[in-house]
């Protein structure tokens, strides 16, 4: 598949930024259990606008707003039977934005496949049978909706990441697997990132990533990601929401500062960079611009050294 080949050769790929927090910033309610899926019902045009702005900013991969379109979270709002429909709506919105992107590089659409329960509560990970059944259903819905690949993201345990990866393979789609880590390159479950990556390797993921961790926690993750021998990437959040009504976050970075850090991750071998909670189109525009301005050079091979420290 073209995306898999592109992950291994050529300039690094720029991912998009946050959807849920961006919807909130624009006044679209995103309360649990639906989180960003509210917009598919109440404000689909705003969701489309966000995708379009990320594509205009230079993102070459748009993540469809399927972060909470699995049957389990939808059922909590009485919408479980609409899982396939809302997944299809989310993918269609991202695909419309991809088709309208500036001429040049293709823009791929990824289908988000998050943990079935709270991303920050590994103690809530369901039993093996539920994981297999529910991730398989979501993967089928994503495949039927026409995504280019599945992004199993914000995974807090290797057990659930394996279930999501196997579900993606079961429908014949490439899978990118991304973990959320705490300090010291450990999953929120306590598993070392290196061991989790090793457990995923037999599933032949197209790429391995970390996401929704603050920028200060990225550096320890780069070594294990690089040592995996697979294309790897990083898309951090901007830290936890700050107390009060300011709307800020604990590691709020300007677009230029995040772009500077993204370039350092690319120098360490990252093939994909973007943003998670708190990031905006301006952050993605700064990252894309900075990476375009890099002098021509040989890109690091997955697992190898870029020679730039």
Residue 214 is assigned to a structural domain of this protein: yes
Residue 172 is assigned to a structural domain of this protein: yes
Containing structural domain, residue 77? 14-292
Residue 221 is assigned to a structural domain of this protein: yes
Residue 248 is assigned to a structural domain of this protein: yes
Residue 306 is assigned to a structural domain of this protein: no
Domain count, the chain: 1
Q: Which residue reads 């943990």 in tokens?
A: 115
pLDDT of the chain along its 309 residues, tens only?
Answer: 799 999 999 999 999 999 999 999 999 988 889 999 999 999 999 999 999 999 999 999 999 999 999 999 999 999 999 999 999 999 999 999 999 998 777 899 999 999 999 999 999 999 999 999 999 999 999 999 999 999 999 999 999 999 999 999 999 999 999 999 998 999 999 999 999 999 999 999 999 999 999 999 999 999 999 999 999 999 999 998 877 545 689 999 999 999 999 999 999 999 999 999 999 999 999 999 999 988 755 444 444 433 332
CATH code of the domain in which 234 resides: 3.20.20.330
Residue 8 is assigned to a structural domain of this protein: no
Residue 307 is assigned to a structural domain of this protein: no
What pTM was computed for the model?
A: 0.93
Residue 139 is assigned to a structural domain of this protein: yes
In this structure, what token pair is assigned to residue 61? 């991969």
């Amino acid at each position: 598949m073209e995306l898999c080949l592109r992950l291994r050769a050529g300039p690094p790929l720029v991912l998009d930024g946050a959807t849920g927090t961006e919807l909130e910033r624009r006044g679209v309610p995103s309360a649990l259990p639906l989180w960003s899926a509210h917009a598919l019902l109440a404000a689909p045009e705003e969701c489309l606008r966000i995708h379009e702005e990320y594509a205009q900013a230079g993102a070459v991969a748009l993540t469809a707003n399927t972060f909470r379109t699995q049957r389990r979270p939808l059922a909590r709002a009485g919408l479980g039977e609409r899982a396939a429909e809302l997944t299809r709506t989310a993918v269609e919105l991202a695909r419309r934005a991809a088709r309208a992107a500036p001429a040049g590089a293709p823009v791929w659409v990824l289908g988000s496949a998050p943990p079935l329960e709270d991303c920050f509560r590994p103690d809530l990970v369901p039993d093996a049978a539920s994981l297999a059944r529910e991730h398989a259903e979501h993967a089928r819905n994503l495949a039927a909706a026409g995504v280019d690949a599945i992004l199993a993201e914000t995974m807090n345990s290797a057990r659930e990441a394996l279930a999501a990866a196997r579900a993606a393979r079961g429908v014949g789609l490439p899978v990118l697997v991304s973990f959320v880590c705490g300090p010291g390159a450990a999953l929120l479950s306590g598993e070392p990132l290196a061991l989790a990556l090793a457990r995923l390797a037999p599933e032949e993921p197209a790429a391995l990533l970390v996401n929704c961790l603050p920028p200060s926690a990225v550096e320890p993750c780069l070594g294990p990601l690089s040592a995996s021998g697979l294309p790897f990437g990083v898309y951090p959040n901007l830290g936890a929401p700050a107390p009060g009504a300011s709307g800020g976050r604990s590691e709020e970075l300007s677009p230029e500062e995040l772009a500077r850090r993204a370039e350092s991750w690319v120098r360490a071998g990252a093939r994909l960079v973007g943003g998670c909670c708190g990031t905006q189109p301006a952050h993605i525009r700064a990252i894309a611009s900075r990476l375009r301005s890099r002098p021509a050079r040989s890109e690091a091979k997955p697992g190898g050294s870029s020679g730039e420290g």
